[in-house]
Structure 1
Amino acid sequence: MAEEKANRKKQAEGDEPRRAQRTTSNVFAFFNQTQIQEFKEAFSMIDADRDGFIGIEDLREIHLSLGRQPSDEELNKMLSECPGQLNFTSFLTLFGEKMHGTDPENTLRQAFEQFDPARVGKLPEEYIKDLLQNMGDNFKEDEIRQVWKEAPISGGVFDYDAFVTLIKRGNQEELAA
């Protein structure tokens, strides 16, 4: 337990390379003020040591209070759903993704990467259009036109990295303005 606290302290001071991604998040827009307050209360209940992060010992404590003794493997699996440390914003993001039916960014990128063996983050526009019309749930021409209105396409190349960011975080240029 002392080792975990020392590791968290190192991470908080910036000595640890694996940190939660810092992004301009619109996750708070998913919830009304009452919901955010309820999530904050739940987070505070789980954060037993009150350090602002939920770690393995916090999860163990909440499970023990409910009469359950999960293994370290189970607890680590729960924590692995969050990249980096699990602070309140990350906690809220996880619930936002679950409640609003969207996959995490890395899952969306990995789906596009299946068609991009070089992993360059971009694919030919016509190739994407063909995939949308002929694989899975086939898109109609008007549905593709609707997607293309917002899609980051330049010179016949679809930038799926930028598209995933647009889906998950909204238009970053509008947020910066």
Structure 2
Amino acid sequence: MAKFFTPVQINEFKECFSLYDKKQKGKIVVKDLITVMRCLGTSPTFGEVERHLQVHKIEKSGELDFSTFLTMMHRQMQQEDPKAEILEALRMTDKQKKGFIQASELRAKLTMLGEKLTNKEGKWLPGRPALHHLARQRLQ
């Protein structure tokens, strides 16, 4: 798995993994897996985690080592595509199917979902009549 990750990534993964290795045996319990993966920037669903466990034949009450964890992280990162997810979310928000959404609507959605906007971002969004110049071609 080292060929798929940079040394910096592996060190970051190992550091986070070690925080959940409570017995210091080089393993984490399955119930902590989703937390560790999310701490490292992925967004697995419970179903995705269950599939990772099935592939490796690991029981829900079991443990996994760092090598297996790296394999799961690689598989998870391959299947996630943040750009596609963002564009799909924008597409779903574009109820009139015009290829853009109003800045005020984007701001409302972001803040409703708990996204904190900086003062600069908060001042920038309302001044924009629409965000079609950012994503119009991608929404089509």
Pick the TM interval, shorter chain.
0.3 to 0.5
Q: TM-score, normalised by structure 1?
A: 0.29
TM-score normalised by L of structure 2:
0.36
